[in-house]
Amino acid sequence: MSKIKKTLAITFTLTAALMLSACNKEQEPSRSNDRTSDSVKDAIGQLNPVPIKQFPDTANDAADIAILEDYDQRFTDMTDSMEIEVAEMREKGTLTPEFEQQRQKDNVKSALIMLKELDLKTEQGRYIQGLLYSYWEHQAKVLDQPNTQADSAQQVDQLNQYLHAQSQLHHWKNKQTPED
């Protein structure tokens, strides 16, 4: 994944986490909102990189890396398209909170469906797939919680897992030799 795409993916993920937290806030007095905002900022500051897990090399590594990168590209393209649509509606003043939340739910559902359809052969590929699936499954649960605030510590833990999946894939790809 290019450096720009990786940066965009991380930015989208952080934005999504913050948006999900913001979408699920109850209307409270402003002092409480300030504390909540501070706790989300504190929690994001607690992102801890998970160490790369080592796996033995297999003959299927290159194929699984290609499948995961294809998933990432297709999902990124779909997400970009959705974000453009939402931004255009926001500019025109036609975006409703309900529609925006439905698009977020659609995005998460698409990620889960796309991940389920991956036919990965390696333990490392399935490990990365599982981390990503767990992240998106958690996001679906957060979006389904009506008017409740998401647990920021759990959101940070899930974000850590998502970022770990991305790092694991990047490490795996870089570990491949040209003849693989």
Predicted structure pTM score: 0.74
* Dihedral sign computed on CA atoms, order 163, 168, 174, 180: negative
Cα–Cα nearest to 85, from 108, 102, 71: 102
Q: How far is CA 167 from CA 36, 84, 93, 123, 162, in A?
A: 29, 27, 38, 16, 9
**Residue-by-residue pLDDT tens, the chain, 180 positions:** 444 444 444 445 544 544 444 444 333 334 434 444 454 455 555 677 889 999 999 999 999 999 999 999 999 999 999 999 999 999 999 999 999 999 999 999 999 999 999 999 999 999 999 999 999 999 999 988 865 566 777 888 889 999 999 999 999 999 986 654
pLDDT of 152: 76
pLDDT of 49: 82
pLDDT of 62: 96
User: Can you read off the two tokens belonging to residue 156?
Assistant: 């940070």
